[in-house]
């Protein structure tokens, strides 16, 4: 007979949620870096979306204003392209964000050595620990992603209206904007999961003896 310990998924979620709620400030720090990166990502994407909407108005004056505002308009496709420089900055900001998350999560693993060791003494398997960290990261990712996407698109819409005036409102591609928000939230979640992989692995490898450590 195989004797197995278990941790139901619902319990894992509850534990992860509790951990975030009680250590609210610490998770906020991780989440805020995510919010910033995702809102930047959304801002650029959503600005392109609104510009694209304006472009579809086929209004010569609007076109001129777009060029003046610094958008690259390719004549043949008649669409807005994000510039190489934009993509590069975007990539860097996401990279910085992931590195920040890895750092914050490693610190949190170090802080929680006793808790992790104790869980292992109580019978937790390596994969329970990994799962707890992944769920926590996913929750932070979705929250940070949503907030960031919302912020980023608000700023993009605001600046679009400020630059092109009230008439721009009629050309806002709401559908495309929703897709952008969804993609941004997904990206945020992905970044958060990516950042926690290595720390979660370290946590899972922690030995139960760690729980016994008495630091003076």
Q: Point out which residues bind other proteins (CB under 8 A).
A: 2-8, 11, 15, 18-19, 21-23, 114-115, 117-126, 128, 207-209, 211-212, 214
Look up tokens 């894992």; give the residue: 12
Question: 21-42 in b/e burial notation, b at 16+ Cβ within 10 A?
Answer: eebeeebeebbebbbbbbbbbb
Min separation Cβ 27 and other proteins, Å: 11
User: How near is the Cβ of 128 to other proteins at its closest, in Å?
Assistant: 8
Q: Which residues pair with 80 in a beta bridge?
A: 73
CB of 208 to other proteins, least distance (A): 5
Nearer to other proteins, 162 or 214 (CB): 214
How far is residue 9's CA from residue 135's CA, in Å, rounded to a whole number?
A: 10
In whole angstroms, give the CA distance from residue 145 to residue 184.
6
Closer CB to other proteins, 28 or 190, in the complex: 28
CB of 44 to other proteins, least distance (A): 37
Provide the 3-class DSSP secondary structure of residue 79. strand
Output the smallest distance, CB 213 to other proteins, in A: 8
Shortest Cβ distance from residue 163 to other proteins (Å)? 47
CB-wise, 16 or 149, nearer to other proteins? Answer: 16
User: In this complex, which beta carbon is closest to other proteins, that of residue 11 or of residue 167?
Assistant: 11
Whose Cβ is closer to other proteins: residue 119's or residue 181's? 119
Distance CA 104, CA 49 (A): 33
Strands 79-80 vs 73-74: parallel, antiparallel or unpaired: antiparallel
- Cα separation, 84 vs 93, in Å, equals 14
Best CA proximity match to 144, nearest among 108, 100, 109, 91? 100
DSSP string, 72-96: -EETTTTEE---HHHHHHHHHHHHH
Nearer to other proteins, 13 or 150 (CB): 13
């Amino acid at each position: 007979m195989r004797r197995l310990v278990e941790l139901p998924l619902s319990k894992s979620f509850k534990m992860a949620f509790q951990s975030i709620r009680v250590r609210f400030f610490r998770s906020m720090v991780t989440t805020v870096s995510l919010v910033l990166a995702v809102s930047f990502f959304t801002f650029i994407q959503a600005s392109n979306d609104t510009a694209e909407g304006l472009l579809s108005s086929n209004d010569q004056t609007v076109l001129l204003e777009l060029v003046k505002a610094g958008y690259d308009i390719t004549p043949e496709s008649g669409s807005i392209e994000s510039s190489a420089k934009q993509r590069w900055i975007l990539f860097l900001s996401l990279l910085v964000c992931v590195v920040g998350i890895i750092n914050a999560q490693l610190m949190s693993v170090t802080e929680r050595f006793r808790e992790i060791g104790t869980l292992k003494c109580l019978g937790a398997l390596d994969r329970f620990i990994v799962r707890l960290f992944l769920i926590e990261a996913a929750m932070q990712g979705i929250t940070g992603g949503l907030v960031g996407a919302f912020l980023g698109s608000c700023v993009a819409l605001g600046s679009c209206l400020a630059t092109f005036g009230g008439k721009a409102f009629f050309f806002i591609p709401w559908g495309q904007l929703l897709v952008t928000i969804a993609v941004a939230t997904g990206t945020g979640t992905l970044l958060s999961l990516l950042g926690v992989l290595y720390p979660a692995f370290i946590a899972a490898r922690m030995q139960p003896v760690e729980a016994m450590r008495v630091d003076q």
